[in-house]
Amino acid sequence: MKNIIALLSIIVLISCKTQNLLVSKKETNDKKYFQYDANYQYKIRKDDKISISVWGEDNLSVGSVYGIYDSNEVYGKWLLVDTNGNIEIPKIGTKNVLNKTIPELKQEIKQELKLWLVNPVVDVKVLNKEITILGEVRNPNTIQVDKDYNNLLEMISKTGGFDFYANLKAIKILRQEGENVKVTNLDLTNSVDILNTNIQLHPGDIVIVPSKKNKEFDKRIATIIPLTTTISAAAIIMGLF
């Protein structure tokens, strides 16, 4: 987390006079991309850290959540999803996991392990699911999340809440979508729109809480920053303050 904040701070200082050239000039009222989705499930990405636990089978587990004292695999071990979207699973071998949901991958591993085990009990976990909160909160941080359903105010509470100078009219949410970063602006002072503003955050999202004393963001509801990452997009946006 310290490395991320340090990187952002450096880029912010460099880009303090940067104009918002990457933001689309086309205004839109479409917030659908950020609205609650009851069917949302996290999909595995490149560079994810995956742990696989097979009950009673230490030799088939990597970072097992089941082993406590007698397991050969302990916390701190994982399988890294490579640039091709593959991991190497004991006994099974190379397996492509890119864009699979956790339930899908668990079921596939269970089926493949039935060649050797009668009724395998399998658990799969992504260890690096996180949401980053930057700006005017008491403890800006990257928060590890296990569940897929996390709302904005819940995550803000984990940072200790908003600071006194937080500009609640100009909260920004950044979300990676392929090579682009989706951005939405939220006004948390609008109590009529609270169901839309307390939005569902996804692992990988970045929340930016600007300061009242600095320049407010434009009033576009949603926009796209193309060909970038959420980290670099956050740096560009914070550089505009």
pLDDT in tens, 172-222: 999 988 778 888 888 888 766 555 567 889 999 999 999 886 444 444 445
* pLDDT, position 232: 74
Q: Are 138 and 81 in contact (CB under 8 A)?
A: no
Count the neighbouring beta carbons within 10 Å of the beta carbon of residue 44. Answer: 20
Q: Structure pTM?
A: 0.73
Q: Please provide the DSSP assignment of 18-46 as one string.
A: ---TTS-S------GGGS--TT---B--T
Q: Are 130 and 145 in contact (CB under 8 A)?
A: yes
Q: Mean per-residue pLDDT for 99-126?
A: 96
Higher pLDDT, 230 or 177: 177
Q: Is the dihedral of CA 149, 150, 152, 153 positive or negative?
A: positive
Mean pLDDT of the chain: 79
- Spell out a b/e string for 211-226, using b for 16 or more CB atoms within 10 Å of the CB, else e: beeeeebeebbbbbbe
Q: Which two tokens stand for residue 30?
A: 């479409």
Give 2's contacts (C-beta < 8 A, 6+ positions apart): none
Q: Which two tokens stand for residue 229?
A: 């990452």
* pLDDT, position 158: 95
How many Å apart are CA 209 and CA 156, to the nearest integer? Answer: 10
Enumerate the β-bridge partners of residue 200: 151
Q: Mean per-residue pLDDT for 153-178?
A: 91
Q: Is the dihedral of CA 150, 153, 157, 162 positive or negative?
A: positive
Residue 60: is its pLDDT beyond 70? yes
Residue 7: is its pLDDT beyond 60? no
Q: Please provide the DSSP assignment of 65-131 as one string.
A: SS-SSS-S--TT--EE--TTSEEEETTTEEEE-TT-BHHHHHHHHHHHHTTT-SS--EEEEETT-EE
Angle at 204 between CA 82 and CA 131, to 5 degrees: 130
- Domains defined for the chain, CATH in brackets: 2-40+129-238 (3.10.560.10), 49-126 (3.30.1950.10)
Share of the chain above pLDDT 70, in %: 69
Confidence of residue 239 (pLDDT cuts 50, 70, 90): low
